[in-house]
Amino acid sequence: KDSWIWFLELLVKDLDIDHEGAGWTFISDKQKGLKPAFEVVVPAARIRFCARHLWTNFTKLFPGKVMKDQMWKCAKATTLPYFQKEMEEMKCLDQDAYNWLTEPERPPHHWSRAYFTTGNDCDILINNMCESFNSFILESRGKPPLTMFEEIRWKLMKRNQIRRDKMEAYHGNICPKPRNILEKNKIKAARDCIATFNGGDRAEVENIEGSKNVVDLLERTCSCRRWDLTGIPCKHAVAAIYGKRENPDDYVASCYLKKTYSSIYNHLIQPVNSMDMWSTSEDQAILPPRYSRQPGRPKTKRIKDASEKEINGGTKLRRVQGSLRCSNCGQVGHNLKTCQRHLPPKEKKAAALSKKRKVNGEAGQGSENLSKKAKTGPLTANELRQKARERAEYQR
């Protein structure tokens, strides 16, 4: 807790956060001691827990795709009636899972959109942005402090320039991702919704399944709360906007506009000469902290959860590959490169052949045929593979 308080106090000072964090939202992985630190430093700020890490702990106790989908439905519900409906469905599926999600240490206003306050124009449930930046500087983090800071500074300077150039080449007043969401909502509005106005700025929008939502264009709100949470008009709002013969682009929040994006990257990071051109200081040199080497090879990557390995796909084979099938003989358990190792031993095959020749000779075969077979000798590796392939085809 003390370490987090020290960190948050410096963060508040750097970002000029005042009024005890009112209007700010913090999302975290629910690290130990972080929540009490928030209550001390920024008690008025909104706190969210990463639903991805919540699901990781949830799936260890309640595995299965059905439980996973139901948990995410509870997290993505935007209204209290829908949240309660999904929680009742969770209760029917597994009472213990319902009790786990409703424990006091996991209040839903930290991880469900139904309890998120509006006004931030942000409904994210996971902290992928932090994870992405952490991966961006992963190689630099293991270096000495000065080298680490210099590499991070150079990477940020380069990234800012790339983002600025990319946005300058983009044609449109709304950023690409919000634009894609808005275009999808336009299609849904034309297909699913019919708006009826009350003579003012409020409209009743009927959905194709029979439900109804109320849209207020003056307040820029919708009873489904998607517009309130994201700042992008939902399909109900788009239907109402079109009913007014107006453009939905004019109702998108200002944080998604191209000019806002460009203004963020107007603050330039200045280039710096290399260390050999720095002036020498007369102060005492700062020595690195004492380091006690831990046993084993230093780890540069975090240990991934089993669910992450499953999601990331099958680009890496497991240690035991049960489905491996040889393309030469068709048998399971080895591949083409190691096929010869799984063939019958040459000695046993030669002994069996000699015994067979002896039996055939006693059966009255001609001496000419016997001499020809005797000259044949043991089969080659290619012939053995052919026999193994024929045996595999026979077993099928």
Confidence label for 352 from pLDDT (cuts 50, 70 and 90)? low
What global pTM score does this model have? 0.70
Going 5 to 11 to 13 to 16, the CA torsion angle's sign is negative
Q: Lowest-confidence range among 79-88, 114-123, 202-211, 297-306?
A: 297-306
What percent of the chain clears pLDDT 70, i.e. is strictly above it?
85
**Does residue 283 have a pLDDT over 60?**
yes
**pLDDT at 319 (0 to 100):** 45
- Tally Cβ neighbours within 10 Å of residue 256: 21
Q: What is the DSSP string of 257-326?
A: BHHHHHHHTTSPPPP---GGGSPPP-SPPPPPPP--PPSSPPP-SPPPPHHHHHHT-SSS--SS-TT-B-
The C-alpha angle with vertex 234 and arms to 231 and 236, in degrees rounded to 5, equals 135
Residues 6+ apart with CB under 8 A from 107: none
**pLDDT at 356 (0 to 100):** 56
Q: What is the mean pLDDT of residues 157-174?
A: 91
**Does residue 368 have a pLDDT over 50?**
no
Q: What is the mean pLDDT of residues 40-62?
A: 89
**pLDDT at 396 (0 to 100):** 62
**Does residue 384 have a pLDDT over 60?**
yes
Phi, psi dihedrals of residue 168, rounded to the nearest 5° = -65, -30
pLDDT tens for 213-241 read 999 999 999 999 999 999 999 999 999 99
SS3 78: coil
For the chain, the first-to-last Cα distance in angstroms comes to 65
What percent of the chain clears pLDDT 90, i.e. is strictly above it?
41
The answer to whether residues 211 and 199 touch, using CB atoms and an 8 Å cutoff, is: no
Q: Lowest-confidence range among 73-87, 249-263, 298-312?
A: 298-312
* Averaged confidence pLDDT in the chain: 83
Q: What is the DSSP string of 290-305?
A: P--PPSSPPP-SPPPP
pLDDT tens for 307-338 read 565 544 555 544 445 567 777 777 777 777 77
